[in-house]
Structure 1
Amino acid sequence: MDLDVFVAAHRGEWDRLTALLRRRRRLTGAEADELVVLYQRTATHLSQLQSSAPDPVLVNRLTTLVARARSAVVGTRRATWRDALRFFVVAFPAACYRSRHWWVTTGVVFTLLVAAMGWWIAANPEVQSTIAAPDELREMTRPGGGYESYYSSSPAAAFSAQVWTNNAQVAGMSLAFGALLGLPVLWVILQNAVNVATGVGLMASADRLDVFLGLILPHGLLELTAVFVAAGTGLRLGWTVIDPGPRTRAAALAEEGRAAIGMAIGLAAVLAVSGAIEGFVTPSGLPTWARIAIGVAAELAFLTYVFVLGRHAALAGETGDTAATDRATEVPVAA
């Protein structure tokens, strides 16, 4: 591209757009239409310059001009409670539903892995001896020991906040690591599987697996499902790097990345619920069946939320991405 020729050919359009922006509150109907056309043309010019002749001074000038024009054409708006309502009723459940194959598969593999490792630990005393000394194992698995006292080790509110923070970090890491082809996500999931399997195996070896399940199921069903959703979304994002489909890789990553950021916010809310259950319900004096029933109810509510609301929104074309008016303008550029 000959930059001087390009500037000479289009400077008049840029100057005209600048003039229209200066008096945009007093434009006639024809002038408003002209402003929209010039905005689209200038956005195309900017894309062409960025890809072919990235002169920093000119790119900076056109970037500012396009931003001003976009504000005039699209208008500015403030986030309202309706945006939050739309996110939780439409965008978030749709994003969860769209990635369901990834996180359901992650959950199944995780469960099978925990069952296999738990059985291996329970059936092999030599494996247990590598985890801790015999006295320490007895202390962890006895009635009122480490596994049971853990859930009442702090005041319920403080414990809930601590658990929520930790789980939100795990979910956030799973989502963020997706951009690295998803490989670190597998490590995060494996670490969590080992932790759960260790508890299963040690308590099973002490004939107290029922107690362990009674402690972990009330909050663990929803908590682990949220972790599975985060991991599945991270893996999906990683696969997008490899296979973006009909979209360009940059466009695919931008779309899926924006949806992943939204999911981080939604999953933080889900994990806040599981954290409250873990802090107030798990260590409570309720019968085991009642505590588990609360956990099952929370899990069924989330699954209904995803597979009813989410499915409906996804079939209507919702992807979990930000609203079209909040995205950067995308203008096709000739190859």
Structure 2
Amino acid sequence: MNAAVVTPSAIETAALRSDRFRLEREEDWKRLETIVTRMEKGRLRGISDEDLLALPGLYRTVASSLSIARETSLDAATLAYLEALVQRAWFVVYGPRSSLWEWLRGFLGGGWSAAVRAIWLDVLIALAVMTAGAVVGWLLVSHDPEWYFALVGKEMAGDRVPGASAKALHDTLFGAPEKDGLSIFAAQLFSNNAQVSILAFALGFAFGVPSLLLLVHNLAVLGAMAWVYHQVGLTLDFAGWIAVHGTTELFAILLAGAAGLHIGRAVAFPGNRPVLQATAEAGRRAALVMTGVVLMLVVAALLEGFARQLVNETFGRFAIGGFMLLLWSTYFFAFRGNAGPRPVKHRDASA
């Protein structure tokens, strides 16, 4: 097999071709490099309006030059220069213009609450479904206690079972955690609710049906447990025990289910918009809501891990839970803050 021989004339031809390619386009490359360098250094005042308007076009031109250079196997120096320039320009054209702190300030300062208000119909539907789920759980167990184990499960139920004595159930609410396993049960409950929140959102694309079913089942568990405590006259004590973290955690589940339902409704009823467009818009709005849901679950975990253990009487638990419910309700439905969500902004390359 004969190896290909590279002649001096071939090398000279390739060099001439590379030089010609560079001379024809170098002016645009230098102009883009100057703009990018100034923007990287924060010298925006030194950039003319003409250069700013030309930035997206220059970026596309240089990106095209890089593509041609790769296909025609130009010299390594030119390729390296273009690759570095395109990478720097990409961050300037498409990179975030606001810092994480600015985004967080916009998110908590009105963006999150505005997104929740935008899906108000889904929130109402999810609330109705959750209420129905709790009622169903209560009624099922009241007619046949065997339903309790189908809903709650023996591992999660522990000593909290139909027929347990009032003292045994009272101790699960007010006893020492190391004796009755309250901390373990609380952790199981939180883990379950966190999974429900994530799944209710993630499965929303299936017309929202799985999201609603998850809400029904999760609240049926709560309704079934409430009946068990009701039978021994501990309804208020159980409600207080749940309220400490439940007004935050259940609110988070409500919003997660509403976010999933919002996407499902967009898929099923896109209106005059194409399905993909309607789903994308609903997805962005729901994702903003879910970002806040994660924050609420973290707060709920802290309340569950500390406040409920430190406050060992029903009135105090109701006070904490009531305050958190008032706080979330005021923030979502009374607080306006900024005009709307402030997502991370990107420069439009098509400008």
| Aligned residue number for residue 86 of structure 1 | 106
| Aligned residue number for residue 289 of structure 2 | 263
Q: 1:122 aligns with which of 106, 130, 142?
A: 142
Q: 1:244 aligns with which of 267, 270, 277?
A: 270
1:204 aligns with 2:230: yes
3-state SS of 2:334 partner: helix
Q: Is the 8 A contact 2:204 2:259 kept in 1?
A: yes
Describe the shift of the 1:213–1:74 C-alpha distance in structure 2 as closer, same or farther (beyond 3 A): closer
Q: Which has the larger radius of gyration?
A: 2
Percent identity, please.
Answer: 25
Q: CA deviation at 1:234?
A: 0.7
Q: Distance in 2 between matches of 1:69 and 1:129?
A: 61
Q: CA deviation at 1:224?
A: 0.9
Q: CA deviation at 1:184?
A: 1.8
3-state SS of 2:125 partner: helix
Q: 2:116 aligns with which of 78, 89, 96?
A: 96
Describe the shift of the 1:286–1:202 C-alpha distance in structure 2 as closer, same or farther (beyond 3 A): closer
Q: CA deviation at 1:92?
A: 1.1
Q: CA RMSD in A?
A: 4.4
Describe the shift of the 1:330–1:177 C-alpha distance in structure 2 as closer, same or farther (beyond 3 A): farther
3-state SS of 2:303 partner: helix
Alignment of 1:281-292 (within 5 A): 281-292=307-318
Describe the shift of the 1:104–1:215 C-alpha distance in structure 2 as closer, same or farther (beyond 3 A): same
Q: Distance in 2 between matches of 1:255 and 1:271?
A: 25
Aligned residue type for 1:194: A
Q: Is the 8 A contact 1:218 1:282 kept in 2?
A: yes
Q: CA deviation at 1:283?
A: 3.9
Q: Is the 8 A contact 1:151 1:283 kept in 2?
A: no
| Aligned residue number for residue 322 of structure 1 | 343
Describe the shift of the 1:88–1:151 C-alpha distance in structure 2 as closer, same or farther (beyond 3 A): farther
Q: Distance in 2 between matches of 1:91 and 1:229?
A: 15
Aligned residue type for 1:21: L
Aligned residue type for 1:178: G
The answer for unaligned runs of 5 or more in structure 2 is 1-24, 39-45, 65-70, 72-83
Greater CA drift, 272-281 or 290-299 = 272-281
Provide, for residues 223-248 of structure 1, a one-character-per-residue CA deviation record: whole Å limited to 9, x for no partner: 11110011001100111122334544
1:223 aligns with 2:243: no
Q: Distance in 2 between matches of 1:286 and 1:129?
A: 28
3-state SS of 1:143 partner: helix
TM (norm. structure 2) is 0.67
| Aligned residue number for residue 78 of structure 2 | none
Q: Is the 8 A contact 1:148 1:215 kept in 2?
A: no
Q: 1:38 aligns with which of 50, 54, 57?
A: 57
Provide, for residues 127-185 of structure 1, a one-character-per-residue CA deviation record: whole Å limited to 9, x for no partner: 5687789x983575642349826996469999877765543332222222122322221
| Aligned residue number for residue 8 of structure 1 | none
Q: Distance in 2 between matches of 1:95 and 1:30?
A: 34
Greater CA drift, 243-252 or 22-31 = 22-31
3-state SS of 1:282 partner: helix
Q: CA deviation at 1:287?
A: 2.7
Q: 1:296 aligns with which of 322, 327, 351?
A: 322
| Aligned residue number for residue 50 of structure 1 | none
Q: CA deviation at 1:250?
A: 3.1
TM (norm. structure 1) is 0.69
May I ask how many residue pairs the two structures share in their alignment?
300
| Aligned residue number for residue 109 of structure 1 | 129
Alignment of 1:7-156 (within 5 A): 20-24=31-35, 25=37, 29=48, 32=51, 35-36=54-55, 38=57, 71-73=91-93, 77=97, 79-124=99-144, 127=147, 137=161, 140=164, 142-145=166-169, 148=172, 153=177
Q: Is the 8 A contact 1:156 1:280 kept in 2?
A: no
| Aligned residue number for residue 333 of structure 2 | 307
Describe the shift of the 1:82–1:23 C-alpha distance in structure 2 as closer, same or farther (beyond 3 A): closer
Describe the shift of the 1:37–1:266 C-alpha distance in structure 2 as closer, same or farther (beyond 3 A): closer
Q: Distance in 2 between matches of 1:39 and 1:152?
A: 69
Aligned residue type for 2:324: A
3-state SS of 1:244 partner: coil
Q: Distance in 2 between matches of 1:16 and 1:243?
A: 51
